[in-house]
Chains A and B, each alone.
Chain A
C-alpha cells in the first residue's frame, strides 16, 4: 500500500515539478506511469520513435511537428521533467491560483499556449512565421490532397489576413492578435478526470 507516496518518491524533484507546472501529485504519478509505458525498451528516457509508436498520434497530420516540440534543439533524448513541462502547457488555466505579478508567467497561461502553437509553425525559431514555413505546415497537413497552386494561394491569403506590418511574415504579436477572440483556454486545455 502507500502507492502514490512511494511512486512519488521515486520521481526525482517531484516537488519542484509540481510547483513549476501546477500538476497535482496524482497527475504527476499518472504522467510518470505514461512516460514509463511509452518507454517500451526501458531506456530511462524517450526518443522520437517512442512517440511514433502511439497509434492515434501516427494518424495525426502534424504528428512530426508535435513530436518535434518535445525534442527541441535537435536533442534525441527526452527526460521526464521536460516531458511534463511540455504537457503542462495544456493544463486548464487555474482561475483560483493567485497571480503574483512578480513571478514568471504560468506555463499554461494563454500567452504560453499560443507560443507553443506558434513554435509549431515557426520551425527556425526566428520569431516569425515566414511564407515558406506556412507552406511547409500546409503541406504536411494536406499532403496529396491539394495541388501546389492551391497551397500557394491558401498561404498567400492567410498571410494577407494576418500580416499587419506587411513584412510578408507573421510575427508572434500578429499571430496573437488574430487569435484574440478564440477561446484558447478551452481549446488548448486537457482536463484530467481525476
Chain B
C-alpha cells in the first residue's frame, strides 16, 4: 500500500511535469534560514558584508598584457632607451607573474570548488568561518540531522525509483515495434525518470529562452560541471547521450536506454579513432528522427566558475550547434565533481546530503560554422557565447591540463612575445624616445 502511495506521489506528477510544490517551499525556507545565519555570522565577525562569491580567486590580478606592463615599467626607468631595448626592470614583470602563479594559478583553481562569501551551514564549505554562537551551531546541527536522516533516505529512494523505472520501462518499450508511438512513449519514459532523479536531488532548475531548445538533428553543447548536468538538461527534453560504455550498474542503464531510443555509446577502443567517432556522430545527426546529441566539449568537469577550452571534435561535424549554458548556485550545494578527490558514489552521496541543487539553464540561439572559419575558432566562438551568458570566465586553458604537462610551446610563445619587444622595437630607436 505504501509503495503505491510513493509511486503515485512521485511518478505521476513527474509524468505530467507537474510539481507538488514541495521543492519550492523547501527552497524558500532554506533561503530565509541561510540569510539569517549569514547575518549572525556577519554581526559576530564585524566585517562588512561581502556581497558576492569570489569566483576569481584570492589575489588581485591585473588585466594588462605583457607588452603594456613592460612598457609601463620602462617608462619609469630614467635612462633613454637606445636600441636593443632590454632593461633590468623587465624581470619585475616575469617575477611578479611567476610569484602570482605560485600563490594561485588559473588552472588548478578551476578544479577546486568555488569558495563562498558567506557560509551556508554545510561543514564542507567551511573555510574561513569561526564558531559564531550557540544558536548558529544548533541550526547547523539541525541541518545535519535533516540532511542526513530525513533527506538522504528520501532521496535515495527517489533515485532508486527513478532508475528502476528507467531500466524496466525502456526494456519493455524495447519490445514494441519501431513506430511513432514507441518514440513518444520512450520520450515520456526518459523524461519521467530524469524528473524523478531531479527530485531526488531537490533540484530547482530554471530554464531560460526555451524557444532555443535544441531541435532534432542538431548538436547540443554545454559546459560541464558534473554528471548531474545530464539530469538537469534532460529534465526539459530528450537527448541522445554520447559516452563511453561502462560496466556494472552504469552499463546496465546504458544498455536498457539504447533499447528504446538510439544513444551513442562508444567502446573504449573506438574512442581512439577520431574519424570513426566523428562518422558515428555525423550519421546520428543526419537522421532527423533522432534526438539531438548532447556533448560536453570540455572533456572534463570544471568547477562552474569558468569555461575551459572546447575540444574541436564536436565542431567538425558540420551541423548546427545549440549552445547551452548551465550555472549552478553554489549557495545551496556544490555541484562540482572533483574526480581526483571523490569517487562517483562519494560524489552522489555529497549531492544528496547538500541542501539542494539550484541552477539556471540558458538555451542560446543556434550557431553554425561560418565560411572560412575553422573548427577551433568556431569552438572558441561558441565557448565565449556560453561563458558570457552564464557569467563564467572564458579561459583558453585545456581542461586536460588537470592531468598533463604544459607544452614547451607555451613557454616559447612567451619568449617570442618578449623578444619582439626587445629586438623588434630596436629597429626604430627614435620612436621610443
Chain A residues proximal to chain B, CB less than 8 Å: 1-5, 26, 29-31, 34, 37-38, 51, 54-63, 66, 87, 90, 116-117, 120-121, 137-138, 141-146, 150, 153-154, 157-158, 161-162, 170, 175, 178-184, 187-188, 190-194
Contact of B414 with A194 in the complex, beta carbons under 8 Å: no
Interface residues of B in 391-408 (CB under 8 A from A): 397, 401, 405-406
Given contacts A1-B130, A3-B126, contact A150 B423 (CB under 8 A): yes
A82: min CB distance to chain B, Å: 13
Q: Which residues of A contact B79 (CB under 8 A)?
A: 161, 178
Which residue of chain A lies nearest to B100 when distances are taken between CB atoms in the complex?
A190
Which residue of chain A lies nearest to B411 when distances are taken between CB atoms in the complex?
A59
Given contacts A61-B411, A194-B58, contact A117 B104 (CB under 8 A): no
* Residue picked from B50, B84, B411, most chain A C-beta under 10 Å: B84
Given contacts A3-B129, A154-B84, A154-B86, contact A117 B102 (CB under 8 A): no
Cβ of B98 under 8 Å from chain A: yes
Interface residues of B in 82-100 (CB under 8 A from A): 82-84, 86-100
Interface of A, helix, strand, loop or mixed by DSSP? helix
Contact of A56 with B91 in the complex, beta carbons under 8 Å: no
Contact of A188 with B96 in the complex, beta carbons under 8 Å: yes
16 contacts between A and B (CB under 8 A): A30-B58, A51-B102, A55-B406, A57-B105, A58-B410, A59-B413, A61-B411, A66-B94, A117-B92, A144-B412, A145-B423, A146-B422, A153-B84, A161-B79, A190-B60, A190-B96
Q: Which residues of B contact A188 (CB under 8 A)?
A: 92, 95-96
Q: Which residues of A contact B90 (CB under 8 A)?
A: 141
Q: Which residues of A contact B128 (CB under 8 A)?
A: 3-4, 26, 29, 194
Contact of B89 with A182 in the complex, beta carbons under 8 Å: yes
Contact of A137 with B91 in the complex, beta carbons under 8 Å: yes
Contact of A138 with B86 in the complex, beta carbons under 8 Å: yes
Cβ of B25 under 8 Å from chain A: no
A61: min CB distance to chain B, Å: 5
User: With A and B bound together, what is the CA distance between A192 and B104 in angstroms?
Assistant: 11
Q: Which residues of B contact A190 (CB under 8 A)?
A: 59-60, 96, 99-100, 103
A60: min CB distance to chain B, Å: 5
User: With A and B bound together, what is the CA distance between A157 and B79 in angstroms?
Assistant: 11
